[in-house]
A and B are shown apart, each in its own frame.
Chain A
Amino acid sequence: MAAPESGDGNNGAARMVTLISSDNTRFEVEAAAASLSQTLQLTILDGGGGGGDGIPLPNVDSATLSKVLEYCIKHAPAAANGGAPNATAVDRAELERFDNEFVNIDQSVLYSLIMAAHNLEIEGLQSLVAKKVADMIKGKSPMEIRRTLGFPDPTPEEQAEMNAHMLEYGWAYE
């Protein structure tokens, strides 16, 4: 679970940083894990987030942030190894199992996750959720996609547009 110790500590691999969610909950995590976020990485490299300061994240609530950090902590060791070229097959299988389990959640949580990953620029997490959503809508009709992702019922105009579009691309729905 712990990030690999770096020899001199100058690159901040074992440093701890504090993140503050929109509802003011404080999360203390290793800088290596938080650095999976491109946005946070810059702040951390500048020496931010240490001590009592903390980095405020006004767009991310605590439930989402704890989920995001769960992902970051799990993926940090592999990321520190440069995408894990020397990871064992067992390690990779374990990460894959974790990922599959991790996104096995409700669409509204997936939405919060991908938005947070988007804001924090966490590449792996954005791809992971995008893949999950693609799998969820694969083979579904437009109406089924709307239901799967919790769209509101279409307005009459929207329904008319969908019908027109369906006529044009009718073959795809059959």
Chain B
Amino acid sequence: MERARPWADVPVDLLDRIFARLPSVADRACCSSVSRHWRFSGMQREHAVPVMLPWLLRPSTAGASYFRLFSRTTTNEPAVPENARSARFLGSLPGGWFFVARGQWRGYALLNVVTGDEIRLPEGLQGNRIPSQLRLDIRHSALLILAATKSPALTPTGASLSPPLTLGHHKAVGWSPLGWTGGCQ
């Protein structure tokens, strides 16, 4: 039984022309679901197939969930890490990482909802491993992190890990689980 399937088998460079006229990531996601041929054609094009986000983490004492911006609905999939339960959402980073404040007194952490990894960020400027340029007048000063970003290879164990943190008073520092890696004013 022969079935006519012209658009299903349209040449890749013509599909590329069509996809180029679709700036919306939602449209491109739909196109890439149409058929396998369309999906692979879409992938030829950089950024044609969008990433899974944007979702927002929606912590709650009853159990955290995600808020889907497009549908304005809430979902529990993929599983929300237990440690996000009472966390305060501060930002998100590529690769499934959320930057959160762990409750009011428990400091900050990076949570990865894809792998379930958690990286606890330092709780304060204490100890003698702090670079001298970060030392403040006040001892045991509490840490207020305003924003965080990550180095390309962010893993809990990776030696190259160093998410630069931005502190109050215009201080930016690099930090990894191995310790502070420097800072500037």
Contact B70 A151 (CB under 8 A): no
Contact with B along A136-174 (1 / 0, CB 8 A): 011111100110011110100010011001101111111
Contact B32 A165 (CB under 8 A): yes
From the candidates B3, B4, B26, B34, name the one contacting A145 in the complex (CB within 8 A).
B34
Q: Which residues of A lie under 8 Å from residue B55 when comparing CB positions?
A: 171
Q: Does B50 make an interface contact (CB < 8 A)?
A: yes
Contact B33 A130 (CB under 8 A): no
Contact B18 A142 (CB under 8 A): no
In the complex, the chain A residue whose C-beta lies closest to that of B13 is A118
Q: Does A41 make an interface contact (CB < 8 A)?
A: no
| Bound Cα distance from A8 to B109, whole angstroms | 78
| Bound Cα distance from A145 to B11, whole angstroms | 17
Q: Does B178 make an interface contact (CB < 8 A)?
A: no
CB proximity to A under 8 Å, residues B1-57: 3-8, 10-11, 13-14, 17-22, 24-27, 29-36, 39, 50, 52, 54-55
Q: Does B146 make an interface contact (CB < 8 A)?
A: no
Contact A138 B14 (CB under 8 A): no
Nearest-neighbour CB distance to chain B for A103, whole angstroms, equals: 13
| Bound Cα distance from A151 to B4, whole angstroms | 8
Contact B17 A162 (CB under 8 A): no
In the complex, the chain A residue whose C-beta lies closest to that of B27 is A138
Q: Which residues of A lie under 8 Å from residue B5 when comparing CB positions?
A: 151-152
Q: Does A111 make an interface contact (CB < 8 A)?
A: yes
In the complex, the chain B residue whose C-beta lies closest to that of A111 is B6
From the candidates B7, B22, B50, name the one contacting A169 in the complex (CB within 8 A).
B50
| Bound Cα distance from A146 to B10, whole angstroms | 13
In the complex, the chain B residue whose C-beta lies closest to that of A112 is B6
From the candidates B13, B19, B27, B71, name the one contacting A171 in the complex (CB within 8 A).
B71
Q: Does B69 make an interface contact (CB < 8 A)?
A: yes
| Bound Cα distance from A152 to B22, whole angstroms | 23
Q: Does A29 make an interface contact (CB < 8 A)?
A: no
CB proximity to B under 8 Å, residues A11-61: none
Q: Which A residues form the contact surface with B (CB < 8 A)?
A: 107-108, 111, 114-115, 118, 126-127, 130-131, 133-135, 137-142, 145-146, 149-152, 154, 158, 161-162, 165-166, 168-174
23 A/B residue pairs, CB under 8 Å, sorted by A: A111-B10, A115-B14, A118-B14, A130-B17, A131-B21, A133-B21, A134-B19, A134-B21, A135-B21, A138-B22, A138-B27, A142-B30, A145-B30, A146-B35, A149-B7, A150-B6, A152-B4, A158-B35, A165-B32, A165-B39, A169-B50, A171-B55, A172-B26
